[in-house]
Every structure is written in structure tokens, then in C-alpha cells.
Amino acid sequence: MSIFFHILSHNIIPIFLLISLGFLLSKKFDLHIFSLSKLMFYLFVPAFIFVNLYTTDLKLSMLKVLFCGVLMLITNDLIARIIAKIRKYDLGLTNAFKNSIMFNNSGNIGVSLITLVFGSAPFVIDGKTPYLNEAITAQIIILVIQNISVNTLGFFNAGRANSSKKDSIKAILKMPSIYAIPLALFLKSIQLDITITPLWPTLEYLKNGLVPMALITLGVQLSKTNFDLKNVDVHLSVFIKLIIGPLLAISYIHLLGLNGVVAQAVFIAHAVPTAVNTALIAVECDSCSDFASQAVMLSTLFSAITLTLAIYAAQFLFPA
């Protein structure tokens, strides 16, 4: 039980404190959510993706992690389509529902959570963290998959509610994040060292600011959201995200033969709540923003329990 409360107090509660700060500040000063979302999508997110891709050693052995991430996306998309058809959602809600279960909070919660988990007991040996780099690498691969998909498919899904396919694609092409990915990979391939340039500290400042900025922005959005705690669709989204998602992850981890620390990291990465970006994208595209915000908030709220259990269970399911 002491491990449970340690995970809760050191890994989960700090995240909710940042969300609460954004909520309270917005209530007092009426912060502008569209300005904050522009800062996120045009500065913080692309810088975060670029720096992580540029500095991460992506080994071929991690291809299994990539396949697991892709399989999770495809499966969740199929689940969302089936439920949308059964419950007769319109196009806007169908795509918002897809986004809510397909995309993980890999950047805001996933990276910091993996860092905290594998950088502390019981993974510290003689004052060192031998498992941290391996776990972070697996998480970064999941992060890359999620960021590519949420900033392309996520925008496309949200945009389809009010725009044509052509306009949705145009909106995607305006997002700097999709250009940050090939640019980082290209610079790595030609071994151009940009860490010695004045640009690098700026990128690192932006990258380090993503997590608090995104969580505070979520708090601001939640302060402007009309909550309906009886919304069955929101609860259904949260159940699939936090319960069905991790169970699917276990099956794919075993199917692909992942084990040890990598398996633990992948399992935890797919147990995190709905991506904050899905709410911000809904705001940006003016499509089902209340549903998206509620799905993010409730999944984040309930993840205080489910994530703590997932971190605890990972050590027994996939011993290092």
C-alpha cells in the first residue's frame, strides 16, 4: 500500500495541481483559450517533438514498440467506429470519440511519468538508474507515433465535422509539428550538430515548457467547459481508454514478445489518459469541444487510480 501512495503522491498529484492552477487562473482572469492553443501548436509541441527525436537513439530493436503503438491506434479506431455505429453518432461526435480513445497523453503525462517511475525506487541501483534510458526510448517511440497521428489524423478527424476533406488536409499542413518530425530525422541522418548553435537553448526551453503549459492550458479549457456528469458517451470513452486500452496493450505486448523494462514502459504508456491535444484540437477546429474536454478531464481524473494500479501491476506482469 505504501508503494501505491508513493506513486499517487509523487507521480499523479503534481499533474492535477498544474491542471488546477490553470483552472483557477482562468476563473480569476478569464484567460483566452485560443491564444494558449496557438502557443501550444505553433511553439511548444513542435519544439518538444523536434528535440526528443533529435536526441533519442532510435534502435532497430525498438521496432516492436513501434508496431505495438500502430496496432493500438488501428484497434482503437475500429472500436470507436463500431460504437459510433451502434450509438448512431453524427460525424462530429464520431470523430471526437475516435480522438478520445486513439490518442494518449504521451507528452504531458507519459514522458514525465516514465521518467519519475524508472528514475526512482525500486529502479535505482547503487544510486544509478540503469533502466531509465531504455524505458524513455520506448516511451519516445510511442510519443512520436502519437504526435504524428494526433497532429495529422487527429486534426483531420476534428476538422471533418465542419470542413471538407480538402480543408481538413490544409489545416494539417499548417501545423509545424508535421515538419518538425522529418527535419529532426534528416538532421540526425546527416549528423549535423545543432546543439552548439544559439537555436538549441531556445528549443530546449520550449521543450521543457510543454508539460506545464499543456496541463495549465487544459485547466483553462476545463474552466470554460459545460460539464454533464451524466453523459454516457464520455463515460464510455473513459472506460475504453483506461480499462480496455491497457488490456489490449497487454495482449499486443505478449504477441510481439516484448518483455522486462520495455514491456513495462509500453504498458504504462498505453494506460495514460486521453491526450490533452484532443481537447485543444477540438477548440481549434470548433468541433465537439465540450465532449473532448470532458473526456480528457474525466480520463485524467480517474487515471489517478488506474495509472497508479497500472504502474504497480507492470512490475509483476513484466518483471525486469
pLDDT digits (tens, 9 = 90+) for 165-174: 777 677 777 8
Asked if pLDDT for residue 1 goes beyond 60, the answer is no
Residue 205 burial (C-beta neighbours within 10 Å; 0-12, 13-18, 19+) = exposed
> Which of the pair, 104 or 53, is modelled with greater confidence?
104
| pLDDT score for 74 | 95
| pLDDT score for 91 | 86
**23 near 15, Cβ under 8 Å?**
no
| pLDDT score for 121 | 66
Question: DSSP string covering 88-127, please?
Answer: T--HHHHHHHHHHHH-B-IIIIIIHHHHHHHTSTTS-BTT
Cα distances from 231 to residues 228, 244, 294, in angstroms, run 6, 19, 9
| pLDDT score for 103 | 92
Query: What mean pLDDT value characterizes the chain?
Result: 85
Asked if pLDDT for residue 6 goes beyond 80, the answer is no
Decide: helix, strand or coil at residue 273: coil
Average pLDDT, integer, range 111-126: 72
Q: What is the 3-state secondary structure (H, E, C) of 204-225?
A: HHHHHHHHHHHHHHHHHHHHCC
Asked if pLDDT for residue 250 goes beyond 60, the answer is yes
Helix ranges restricted to H, 224-288:
232-239, 245-256, 260-269, 276-285
| pLDDT score for 102 | 94
> Which of the pair, 194 or 16, is modelled with greater confidence?
194
C-alpha–C-alpha distance, residues 127 and 113, integer Å: 20
Distance of CA 254 to the CA centre of its chain: 23
Q: How many CB atoms lie within 10 A of CB 257?
A: 8
Asked if pLDDT for residue 8 goes beyond 80, the answer is no
Asked if pLDDT for residue 163 goes beyond 70, the answer is no
Asked if pLDDT for residue 126 goes beyond 70, the answer is no
Average pLDDT, integer, range 31-60: 83
Q: What proportion of the chain, given as a percentage, has pLDDT over 70?
A: 92
Domains annotated on the chain, with CATH = 2-317 (1.20.1530.20)
Asked if pLDDT for residue 284 goes beyond 90, the answer is no
Asked if pLDDT for residue 124 goes beyond 70, the answer is no
* Among 30-39, 82-91, 102-111, the least confident range: 102-111
* Among 82-91, 102-111, 293-302, the least confident range: 102-111
pTM, to two decimals: 0.80
